[in-house]
Chain A
Amino acid sequence: MLSRTAENLYWLARYVERAEYLARTIDATLRVTALPAAYIGKTNEWDSALLTAGVAASFYQKYQEANEANVVDYLSFSADNPSSIRNCIEAARLNSRSVRTALTSEMWDTINSAWIELQAVWSKGTSTREDLAKFLRFVQETSLRFDGSAYRTMLRNDAYWFSRMGVHLERADNTARILDVKYHVLLPEEEHVGGPLDFYQWSSILRSVSALTAYHWVYRETLKPWLIADLLILNDTLPRSLASCYGNLVRNLDQIGVAYGRQGPAQRHARGIRNRLEHSNMNDIFQHGVHEFIQEFIADNSRLGEIITKQYLI
């Protein structure tokens, strides 16, 4: 297939995944901030939402302080924020248009309908919490429909595998970021671990990656930071864990390698990251430092993106 087509499919999937992640982040943050102050302490949840979205620096060039109104607007609708949900959907539609021939009609319909709704219903943003909840649901449903359409209608060929790679690379990045920020914010406060404050903070992490129920199924325990880290990093039964994302990335890259009759640096690099995840345990990671571990992972993950681009997309 055309390199440009593969690139567009890959980015299209990333944009849709990113939009969903942002919607989940806002949703989880709203839940925490709706709690009485006694439960959440003095941390600014909107600040950490900006951090996990990776847009804190650009946000503060525009605003003095982070509050619900301006963060929601910046993450959802702002034209100045290249990764706002609106910009993600618009970029996804532009990419879809330029690779329409590689999309199934269901996938196109999902993106095009979302784009139409964005303009028709959400062009002025949201004014009430109810509206916002509706908007966030709309974004998540768009992503579910898109994913489902891809899964159910695409031929299992390189077009599919490149698009899946976009999903898993983006998802791994998002999961890693949220862990990094939350651990950074939460863990130093030893005295609070296990208190009610942390309970809600930690449950919001799990909510933002839709893994709260899964946690209970897997561990049958109250929320514990190291178990949460274990779930999100090492447990490959959880679709958003780093281990699971890398299992999929390696598989997709292998499928492409087989189809093209050639392996390359992308396959090797992905396999290296997966092996490291497979052979780690939480003890080692805590010894090494969670923050350091995740920082290295984020760098490795984005390096894989660069290698894929060089090997296939340009």
Chain B
Amino acid sequence: MAVAFDEMNIPGGDLRPAYQELARWLKETPPEALEYRRQEAELLFRRIGITFAVYGDSESTERLIPFDVIPRIMSGKEWTLLEKGLKQRVRALNMFLRDIYHGRDILRAEVVPDDLIFQNPVFRPEMNGQQVPHDVYVHIAGIDIIRVDAEDFIVLEDNARTPSGVSYMLENREIMMRLFPDLFARHKVAPVERYPDELLSALRSVAPHGASGEPTVALLTPGVYNSAYYEHSFLADKLGIELVEGRDLVVKNNEVFMRTTEGVKRVDVIYRRVDDDFLDPLTFRPDSALGVPGLMSAYAAGNITLANAVGTGIADDKAIYSYMPEIVKFYLGEEPILKNVQTWRCREPKDLAYVLDNLGDLVVKEVHGSGGYGMLIGPAATKATIEAFREKLKREPEGFIAQPTLALSTCPTCTATGLAPRHVDLRPFVLTGSKTTTIVPGGLTRVALKEGSLVVNSSQGGGTKDTWILDE
């Protein structure tokens, strides 16, 4: 495994320019002061109730995501490049989704194999030929980015269904500004606070053509027991829209209404944080009580916009991911600005053979997995685990992809023994409306708090940091 790229220090002792002011500040600040502020931050998070639920954890159903008070800093120039790459990628994702559910040019051109689409459980035949308002499928995309050297950003994963974490991006900034006003005074940090505004105008812009001038937007949550419930209520609050559950909605004559104390009120756009499977018991899982009976017929009738559209899961599938460079080229005729991680598709016999021979060096992921569950990190795994995975791979090769263990870049992070480098990734949030695509500068930096660990998922003990883009 290569040596990780250090975002703060250049080998030999010099600092990278974006971190110079921070380094000066850190030198002046006694460790006790840092520790005191870390505790204060934790208290704030707990009081505000910024928590997430952990499934199957009976000890406590709500946990805090650890917050690291040392910001992660990027130069404006680096960001400009990243932003361009993200917009390009999301544009291609949207075109790909439209194509898959309509003309399927890309399949006819044999750029992506048919069976990857049609045999994929997240492909939604219900969406075949269906017009979605303004042709936008992925209104909110969370693209996971890692850095391996000074020049390159690499996409680790495209989250095109219901990406979460944006509340942490916003709250982390709030709390940092409260705790470290002096540090902000010494930097020019691009603000992130207009995200809710951007999100609301993006959602309004994609209202169905028949909606009134002031379309009604609502956020659909599975409810208080969902792991991202805090985020749902936070966003509804910031957007000034109703936070609804399935039981608050009712479909009449293919229109969607919410039940209010003054009778029913029409809803035009639903920012849904409920998975496809649970949206409508009449179309999808009949045993689910989270959704709204009839929602899909209202959708088919063009009376409601769902953000993100139904069926977008096919674009964040890890098997499709490996085709993203080809997908960008196919639709845009451009070279992809952001690279992909080299990926072996275990469904292809040649790749499978390679993977089986090199299991100890690779990361193997379930094609449909998320949250860091069900993966093998070869270099960190025991022999027995590797052998168990080998059997799984042989049994169901199409269920897996493999990637080299990447040296995720590191940032200085508070640890029990003082500041130390820890691996990070970055999830910026890309918003697509009817006419524009926007990204607020930054995103959610996730950090693996355990020494040497590469797993940044909150469900696996990762933490978060504020992400600073310097406005130069």
Contacts of A101 in B (CB 8 A): 233, 236-237, 242-243
Contacts of A109 in B (CB 8 A): 47-48
Partner of A108, one of B49, B245, B261: B49
B233 pairs with A113, CB closer than 8 A? no
User: For residue B60, which residue of chain A has the nearest CB?
Assistant: A119
The stretch from A1-9, A30-38, A72-80, A177-185 touching chain B is A1-9
Within the assembled complex, what's the spacing in Å between the Cα atoms of A138 and B168? 32
Interchain nearest-CB distance for A177 vs B (Å): 29
Interchain nearest-CB distance for A294 vs B (Å): 31
Within the assembled complex, what's the spacing in Å between the Cα atoms of A3 and B242? 11
Total inter-chain residue pairs, C-beta < 8 Å: 54
A94 pairs with B224, CB closer than 8 A? yes
B224 pairs with A97, CB closer than 8 A? yes
Contacts of A217 in B (CB 8 A): none
Name B46-60 residues within 8 Å CB distance of A.
46-49
The answer to the question of B244 belonging to the interface, with a C-beta cut-off of 8 Å to chain A, is: yes
A2 pairs with B49, CB closer than 8 A? no
User: For residue A311, which residue of chain B has the nearest CB?
Assistant: B261
Partner of B260, one of A3, A97, A100, A113: A3
The answer to the question of A155 belonging to the interface, with a C-beta cut-off of 8 Å to chain B, is: no
Known contacts A4-B245, A4-B248; A313/B261 CB under 8 A: yes
The answer to the question of A58 belonging to the interface, with a C-beta cut-off of 8 Å to chain B, is: no
Contact with A along B14-50 (1 / 0, CB 8 A): 0000000000000000000000000000000011110
Interchain nearest-CB distance for B61 vs A (Å): 11
Contacts of A112 in B (CB 8 A): 47, 49
Total number of B residues with any Cβ neighbor in A under 8 Å: 21
The answer to the question of A47 belonging to the interface, with a C-beta cut-off of 8 Å to chain B, is: no
A4 pairs with B259, CB closer than 8 A? yes
A97 pairs with B262, CB closer than 8 A? no
Interchain nearest-CB distance for A260 vs B (Å): 5
The answer to the question of B223 belonging to the interface, with a C-beta cut-off of 8 Å to chain A, is: yes
The answer to the question of B383 belonging to the interface, with a C-beta cut-off of 8 Å to chain A, is: no
Known contacts A112-B49, A116-B46; A1/B261 CB under 8 A: yes
The answer to the question of B258 belonging to the interface, with a C-beta cut-off of 8 Å to chain A, is: yes
Contacts of B242 in A (CB 8 A): 1-2, 5, 101
- Tell me the dominant secondary structure on chain A's binding face: helix
Partner of A260, one of B229, B237, B248, B261: B261
Within the assembled complex, what's the spacing in Å between the Cα atoms of A113 and B47? 6
Partner of A3, one of B223, B233, B261: B261
The answer to the question of A158 belonging to the interface, with a C-beta cut-off of 8 Å to chain B, is: yes
The answer to the question of B247 belonging to the interface, with a C-beta cut-off of 8 Å to chain A, is: yes
A6 pairs with B261, CB closer than 8 A? yes
Within the assembled complex, what's the spacing in Å between the Cα atoms of A100 and B51? 13
A98 pairs with B248, CB closer than 8 A? no
The answer to the question of A199 belonging to the interface, with a C-beta cut-off of 8 Å to chain B, is: no
A100 pairs with B233, CB closer than 8 A? yes
Interchain nearest-CB distance for B263 vs A (Å): 9
Contact with B along A142-184 (1 / 0, CB 8 A): 0000000000000000100010000000000000000000000
Name B158-184 residues within 8 Å CB distance of A.
none
Contact with A along B227-253 (1 / 0, CB 8 A): 001000100110000111101100000
Contacts of A122 in B (CB 8 A): none
Instruction: Place the interface of chain A in its size category.
Output: 20 to 34
User: For residue B221, which residue of chain A has the nearest CB?
Assistant: A98
User: For residue A113, which residue of chain B has the nearest CB?
Assistant: B47
Which residue, A2, A98, A256, A312, has most C-beta atoms of chain B within 10 A? Answer: A2
Interchain nearest-CB distance for A121 vs B (Å): 15
Contacts of B247 in A (CB 8 A): 4
A2 pairs with B260, CB closer than 8 A? yes
Name B193-251 residues within 8 Å CB distance of A.
223-224, 229, 233, 236-237, 242-245, 247-248
B261 pairs with A97, CB closer than 8 A? no
B49 pairs with A97, CB closer than 8 A? yes
Within the assembled complex, what's the spacing in Å between the Cα atoms of A1 and B244? 11
Which residue, A97, A112, A256, has most C-beta atoms of chain B within 10 A? Answer: A97
Contact with B along A1-20 (1 / 0, CB 8 A): 11111100000000000000
User: For residue B233, which residue of chain A has the nearest CB?
Assistant: A100
Within the assembled complex, what's the spacing in Å between the Cα atoms of A314 and B250? 12
Contacts of B224 in A (CB 8 A): 94, 97-98
Interchain nearest-CB distance for A148 vs B (Å): 18
Contacts of B245 in A (CB 8 A): 4
Contacts of B248 in A (CB 8 A): 2-4
Contacts of A256 in B (CB 8 A): 261
Within the assembled complex, what's the spacing in Å between the Cα atoms of A256 and B262? 10
Interchain nearest-CB distance for A119 vs B (Å): 8
Contacts of B47 in A (CB 8 A): 109, 112-113, 116
Within the assembled complex, what's the spacing in Å between the Cα atoms of A1 and B236? 13
Interchain nearest-CB distance for A2 vs B (Å): 5
Q: Which 8 A-B pairs have the closest CB atoms?
A: A101-B237, A100-B233, A312-B261, A3-B259, A6-B261, A98-B224, A97-B224, A101-B236
- A6-B261, A314-B259 are known contacts; what are 4 more A-B pairs with Cβ within 8 Å? A1-B261, A2-B248, A2-B259, A260-B262
Instruction: Identify the A interface with B (CB < 8 A).
Output: 1-6, 94, 97-98, 100-101, 105, 108-109, 112-113, 116, 158, 162, 256, 260, 262, 312-314
